[in-house]
Amino acid sequence: MADIIVMRVGATREQIDRVVQRLHELGLRAHLSEGVERAIIGVIGVGAPLLKVRDVVEMLPGVEDLVSITKPYKLASREFQSHNTIVQIGAVEIGGSELVVIAGPCSVESEEQTLATAHAVRAAGAKILRGGAFKPRTSPYSFRGLGVKGLQILARARAETGLPFVTEVMSPEDVGMVTEYADMLQIGARNMHNFNLLEEAGKSGKPVLLKRGMAATIEEWLLSAEYVMAQGNRQVVLCERGIRTFETQATRNTMDISAIPVAKRLTHLPVIADPSHGTGKWYLVQPLSLAAVAAGSDGLIIEVHPSPDQALSDGIQSLTFDNFRTLMERVRQLATVVPRPQPLAVS
């Protein structure tokens, strides 16, 4: 079950804490969201039935109403929280007034390659570094990352440039180790339905970048975010990275631009776009980036490599340093004329 308790305007901290305590006594979890005027408490769990919760809670001081959420994803829905969530990664905010660009190599191949890329993307205006230390590959014979050594290289790049970094974690057992290094955990498209991994990422307390599965519906995507949030971690950023369709030659995936405004209507979580994986073609990254910005994306995640023709993974979709600088110039120009969208009313 999952519903929300709406507190009265002016409810005291003591009254709010009493409601939370009573829910715990009923075997339920409480997720508190405090707005400017009133607090809302999300009720999560499989403890007492709704009727009993209503009977108990409505008698408590400060409670105004108990409302059922109709969406299967509860904490991620705009019914639970109407205002946008802003996710903090170091000093960077995703979901606020600024469009945030994350950039870097698909895979950490060497210290020289990663440091050069980190300095180049920072100079061009990127706010967060990306790089894969562990890489899920379709073929077991492809380069699968440097592992812990890759994490150490990313940490050095952060120390030199000041850029926080996001990297993929592939198994629940690796979450603790990756968390020691990374500022943000990425859940890749292939792992969007790895529910044990989602729960461990939620428990880590680190911000999570959740990519949409290559054949996932938007509802399934948001339910995966719910797994993270149900562990008490609300720092989730959704990433549209293209879906698999009948088209396999002209593009690697089909970039679903429509998913961006749809997701932003349904959820308060930030939504960013990955046109590198979304198209699989370097020359399509810029036009799809501009389309994503125009559609209301909160940010972009772009693959950049000093020599894409020599990259050990995804070189065909990676931008050179010059191409990335051009992209950033165009994105900045568009961002000045496309206002950051306000939350849409849920009908």
pLDDT tens-digit map of 216-243? 999 999 999 999 999 989 999 999 999 9
> Could you confirm whether domain 2-68 is CATH 3.30.70.1140?
yes
3-state secondary structure 6-60: EECCCCCHHHHHHHHHHHHHCCCEEEEEECCCCEEEEEECCCCCHHHHHHHHCCC
pLDDT of residue 57 exceeding 50, the answer is: yes
Structure tokens at 201: 């990422």
Structure tokens at 259: 């998913």
**What radius of gyration do the chain's Cα atoms show?**
21
Q: How confident is the model at residue 270 (pLDDT cuts 50, 70, 90)?
A: very high
pLDDT of residue 244 exceeding 70, the answer is: yes
Residue whose pair of structure tokens reads 């970048």 in the numeric block:
209
Mean pLDDT along residues 141-163: 89
Question: Which residue ranges does the chain devote to CATH 3.20.20.70?
Answer: 87-337
Mean pLDDT along residues 250-271: 95
Residue 323: DSSP 8-state: H
Q: How confident is the model at residue 341 (pLDDT cuts 50, 70, 90)?
A: low
Cα distances from 166 to residues 129, 188, 309, in angstroms, run 6, 12, 24
Structure confidence at residue 47 (pLDDT): 58
Mean pLDDT along residues 129-154: 82
Q: How far is CA 105 from the centre of its chain?
A: 19
pLDDT of residue 8 exceeding 70, the answer is: yes
Contacts of 269 (CB under 8 A, 6+ apart): 76, 85, 87, 95, 225, 236, 237, 238, 263
Mean pLDDT along residues 39-52: 73
Q: How far apart are CA 67 and CA 80, in angstroms?
A: 10
b/e 268-298 (16+ beta carbons within 10 angstroms → b): bbbbbbbbbbbbbebebbbebbbbbbebbbb
Q: How far apart are CA 315 and CA 73, in angstroms?
A: 37
Tell me the percentage of the chain whose pLDDT exceeds 90.
71
Backbone angles phi, psi at 29, to 5 degrees: -110, 150
For 71-118, give the DSSP string: SS--TTBTTT--SPP-EEETTEEESSSS-EEEEE-SB---HHHHHHHH
By mean pLDDT, which of 104-118, 209-223, 244-258, 264-278 is the weakest?
244-258
Note whether 62 and 246 are within 8 A (CB).
no
The bridge status of strand 29-34 relative to strand 128-130 is: unpaired
- Tell me which amino acid residue 230 is: A
Residue 238: DSSP 8-state: E
Tally Cβ neighbours within 10 Å of residue 163.
25
Backbone angles phi, psi at 233, to 5 degrees: -105, 110
Q: How confident is the model at residue 276 (pLDDT cuts 50, 70, 90)?
A: very high
Structure confidence at residue 137 (pLDDT): 60
Contacts of 335 (CB under 8 A, 6+ apart): 99, 293
Mean pLDDT of the chain: 91
Q: How far apart are CA 313 and CA 135, in angstroms?
A: 9
The CATH fold of domain 87-337:
TIM Barrel (3.20.20)
Residue whose pair of structure tokens reads 């150490």 in the numeric block:
152
Question: Which residue ranges does the chain devote to CATH 3.30.70.1140?
Answer: 2-68
Q: What is the dihedral of CA 116, 208, 244, 297, to 10 degrees?
A: -80
Residue whose pair of structure tokens reads 């960077």 in the numeric block:
92
Vertex 102 angle, CA 129 and 35, to 5°: 110
Q: How far apart are CA 331 and CA 171, in angstroms?
A: 35
